[in-house]
Amino acid sequence: MNVELWLSEFRDPDYVFRASAMLLGVGQVVTTLEYLWMRSEFGDGGVYAWSVLRLARPRRHPMTERLRDALFGRAGMVALLGLRLLSAVTLVLFASVAWLATIAVVTLAAVLLACNVRLPWGMEAADDVAVHVTLGLAAYALARVFDAPSVGLYYIAAYAGLAYVTSGVTKLSEATWRSGVALGWVVNLQVFGAPWAVELLAPRPRLRQVLSWSVMLAEVSAPLAVLLPAQGIALVLVAGLAFHATLAVCMGLNTFVWAFLATYPAVLLVWTTVHDLAIHPLPKP
Amino acid sequence: MSAIGILVSVITSAALVVLFLLSVRYQFYTAQQLLQWPAPPLKLLRQFRLFSPKPIRTDVHLIARDFRQDGVPTSCREIPVIKVRHWTHALWNPGKRRSVPLMAMMVEMTAISTELGEERAAVLVATQYLILLSIVSSPAAADAQARQYLLVESFGYEPDCDAQVLFCSAVHRLDRSEVGSDRLLSL
């Protein structure tokens, strides 16, 4: 199989939109089903109890407060999550139907922003990446309705780069990460770690250090991947997938896989653009 | 391309460019600066530090205990928060929708109590305090008259490290008068 020919498919923004929307949709189906599974947490005595959280919100007009209580109470949240699930499933199944995908991605963006407001704790970095992927896709889809250009897909790639670089730079600045000690601390946590990871890494300081440096260097240099040849970028993205899959198994961060995977088609769009414009034109599929 | 198309394109693209520039700027703020400011609108900005620069080293556990009428405390019991890691969590992990926010709240509660120190009344009305209180207000023993919760830290899977109490809530009277068998905690 010609990797360069296959990757050059990603120069088509519609192709990138479909790929990204489907991956985002899968991640959102999993995330939303997890919230629905734990829906009792939105009621009294739960972690997201609106009866308590509303006390920290500014007072509004009584009508607005009634509307807010209806939307953010347990029943309202279940309805909101139902809408989120419907939008996500639509993206998975009908990403190639332009008008349906546009409605789904715009609806999903609105629901995710509402969830951002409603949930003051517990939003992971994966949830934030998913929000920004959705915003980028929504901007692209809306512009597409009018045959207008959009930076939406490029925004997704840039945001992924920002996330990786920031994470790598802040780790590099800390001696405990450079020595590999911090990695041992993280896997030792009951909430984020795993006993088998502790058994593997605790007696092996050299392995911890090698893994830490691999992650830090890979994260810091992630944006440079768009300059690599086809085999190189493919290898980098497969390594990225393997990294997130490992975190999912060891740390239970299952939705990171889908959130970051959803940015990869946009990264490939940037890669094709860079190669067409500055390095050498890619073959036409 | 229609005029409205150009308008949509310009507005959405400009909004994303601004959002990206703000996101880049946001990465440079210190934790102290962020603590002093209100959360960004719609929480669209965040720092991607991901367990860095210094990751947390300890798990925090939520412990509750009751007090009988004679004032004698019952033994402590842990409110389950953390689930032991299983390979299926790589695909399906709903438990983290409870454990992650709870852990964040408990860490923040400890910081609030340290920061406010003597201002006990301010601690008692912190949202984190009230959420944790609402979580521990599940049915109590029949002779329980009051309840208290504690936040206790442990060093993860290290078995030989002693757990330490980080925070002790006030003792809250159990009010059973309002809804029969449901027990409400009053401040």
Per residue in B21-49, pLDDT (tens digit) is 999 999 999 888 887 788 888 889 988 88
Q: Which residue in B87, B97, B157 is closest to A193 by CB distance? A: B157
For residue B171, give Cα distances in angstroms to A161, B64, B137, B141, B147. Answer: 49, 10, 12, 16, 6
Of the listed ranges A9-18, A115-124, A194-203, B157-166, the least confidently predicted one is B157-166
Tokens read off for B63: 């412990």
Residue B150: which H helix or E strand, with range?
strand B144-154
Q: Which residues pair with B175 in a beta bridge?
A: B184
Q: What is the pLDDT of residues A160-204, one digit of tens each?
A: 999 999 999 999 999 999 999 999 999 999 889 999 999 999 999
Rounded CA separation B160/B141 (Å): 32
Q: What is the pLDDT of residues A59-78, one digit of tens each?
A: 889 999 999 999 999 999 99
Number of alpha helices (DSSP H) and beta strands (DSSP E) in chain A: 15, 0
Query: Contact B57/A185, CB-based, under 8 Å?
Result: yes
For the full predicted model, state whether its pTM sits above 0.95.
Answer: no
Model confidence at A232, pLDDT cuts 50, 70, 90, reads very high
Give the pairing of strands B172-179 and B164-168: unpaired
Tokens read off for A237: 């993205």
Neighbour tally for B182: CB within 10 Å: 11
Q: Phi and psi (nearest 5°) for B64?
A: -125, 150
Residue B167: which H helix or E strand, with range?
strand B164-168
The answer to whether A193 and B157 are in contact (CB under 8 A) is: yes
Model confidence at B69, pLDDT cuts 50, 70, 90, reads confident
Interface membership of B135 toward A (CB under 8 Å): yes
Q: What is the CA radius of gyration of chain B?
A: 22
Q: How far is A224 from chain B (nearest CA, A)?
A: 18
Query: Contact B5/A147, CB-based, under 8 Å?
Result: yes
Tokens read off for A131: 């929000």
Q: Which residue in A44, A151, A254 is closest to B90 by CB distance? A: A254
Tokens 């991640």 — which residue? A27
The candidate with the shortest Cα–Cα distance to A227, out of A267, A279, A277, A283, is: A279
Q: What is the pLDDT of residues A27-40, one digit of tens each?
A: 999 999 999 999 99
Interface of A with B in 158-197 (CB under 8 A): 158-159, 162-164, 166-167, 170-171, 173-174, 176-177, 182, 185-186, 188-196
A contacts of B103 (beta carbons < 8 Å): 191
pLDDT (average), residues B84-100? 93
Interface membership of B27 toward A (CB under 8 Å): yes
What is the model's pLDDT at position B182? 46
pLDDT (average), residues A151-160? 98
A contacts of B85 (beta carbons < 8 Å): 193-196, 250-252
ipTM of this complex prediction, to 2 decimal places: 0.93
